Amino acid sequence: MLEFGVFFASCTFFSESPELDSEIRSGIEQSSKIILLSGEEKYQRSEESTFLTLPEWFIVYSAREYADFVEQKNSPSGFPYFRSITQYWENYCSVTALTHKEYGFNMGNHVMLFVIGNSFTAEYAMKGLYENTFGRVTEWISTSAFTEEDAYASQVSREYALFLDHTPFYSFPYAKKLQGLWTETSFFGDEFLRKWERRFSLTLEYGIKSLYSSFIRSATGAAYAPTDDEILLITSPLLPALQHSSDRIAVVNSYKEELQLVRIPRYQAFTDTILDLKDQDIVIYEIAGNDRIALTALAPFDWSQELEKGIVHYSLPVLTRPDVQRVFIEVSVTQLLFLLRELHHQDIIIEHLYDY
């Protein structure tokens, strides 16, 4: 814990709190109280989590980028493992700096980020070292570095990235993927040495991850209650046609004929659902009792970062796409749909909304 405390202190450099739009209708606070008193005890979620979930999602983005990289038949040794490690901790330090003054220290979030950050660091460091030594040697002596095992690993990486959109990493079926490596790829074929080197390295990787995931799954189950898969919003009335056209949106209750309590899914489905709402004539007043939310967008590297609504806090390059930057933005919940339309009109890709 001493190491953790020292690292946290090194991240909490001075950062000015932004001036935010404070337009919140007077009825919202009263409605929030009504919700809490009416049995919706899971309504309120901690606002700082919208910032502190970014490093966790960076691991998802890195998995996607690795899958894209190897699917294009690039050699695994060419992937920027060590720069990815650096970016994880840059994201962690940046969001820590944004939250520590206003929200204090959220022990649960920071311990979780420190644990998964260290496991991500260990995994990528070992892969980077292996791929740039033994892996690179078999690349050199092979006429084609992309084997049947490489194709299988690329497929597993893609499945893993999609899996993380809705389920914690430690539930991924690594043991099943290890079995598939030995049953779905042939024992003999071209580039025999490279083929068996890949088979050995992937067996070691999937085996270790299976054991580690089992340990984390057991520890998490003992320490924490199951996570909620849904989140609640206060909005202006939704159009009946919209309610009926989406199975992800459920109106729970109405207040004063002007406000509705709406339930939608969390994780990646949260982003997809809110994007479906961006062109609707509605206003979102609160999300899980909060009036601020963070998001990331993918923009050309020369984008001006000028927005009418929203505050750009920082940006980092997408390591496998040097012409693209990942931009971290904060916005008032009441202005969220306006900002999404603004980004869309600038041809900026909304990557993810962070749902506390």
Q: Give the residue extent of every domain in the chain.
A: 27-47+228-354, 52-223
Checking if the pLDDT of 7 tops 90, the result is no
* Burial label, 31 (beta-carbon count in 10 A; 0-12, 13-18, 19+): buried
**Cα(80)–Cα(252) distance, integer angstroms:** 46
Mean pLDDT score, 195-217? 90
Q: Give me the pLDDT at residue 127, please.
A: 95
Checking if the pLDDT of 256 tops 90, the result is no
The model's confidence at residue 145, banded by pLDDT at 50, 70 and 90, is: low
Residue 217, φ and ψ in degrees, nearest 5: -60, -45
The model's confidence at residue 180, banded by pLDDT at 50, 70 and 90, is: very high
Quote the pTM value.
0.83
Checking if the pLDDT of 1 tops 60, the result is no
Checking if the pLDDT of 42 tops 80, the result is no
Q: Give me the pLDDT at residue 81, please.
A: 98
- 90 or 44, which is more confident? 90
Q: Give me the pLDDT at residue 18, please.
A: 38
Mean pLDDT score, 204-233? 78
**Which of 163, 198, 160 lies closest to 77 in space, CA to CA?**
198
Checking if the pLDDT of 226 tops 80, the result is no
pLDDT averaged over every residue in the chain: 85
**Which of 302, 305, 294, 316 lies closest to 342 in space, CA to CA?**
305
Mean pLDDT score, 101-122? 89
What percent of the chain stands above pLDDT 70? 84
Burial 128-138 (b: 16+ CB within 10 A, else e): bebbbeebeeb
Q: Give me the pLDDT at residue 4, please.
A: 53
Checking if the pLDDT of 175 tops 70, the result is yes
The model's confidence at residue 16, banded by pLDDT at 50, 70 and 90, is: very low
Q: Per residue in 48-101, pLDDT tens?
A: 999 999 999 999 999 899 989 988 888 899 999 999 999 999 999 999 999 988
Q: Per residue in 290-331, pLDDT tens?
A: 999 999 999 999 998 999 999 999 999 999 999 999 999 999
Q: Give me the pLDDT at residue 284, please.
A: 95
- 21 or 153, which is more confident? 153
The model's confidence at residue 19, banded by pLDDT at 50, 70 and 90, is: very low
Q: Give me the pLDDT at residue 220, please.
A: 59
The model's confidence at residue 8, banded by pLDDT at 50, 70 and 90, is: low
> Mean pLDDT lowest for which of 10-19, 90-99, 236-245?
10-19
> Mean pLDDT lowest for which of 30-34, 67-71, 203-207, 261-265?
30-34
* Burial label, 49 (beta-carbon count in 10 A; 0-12, 13-18, 19+): buried
Q: Give me the pLDDT at residue 34, please.
A: 52
- 356 or 219, which is more confident? 356
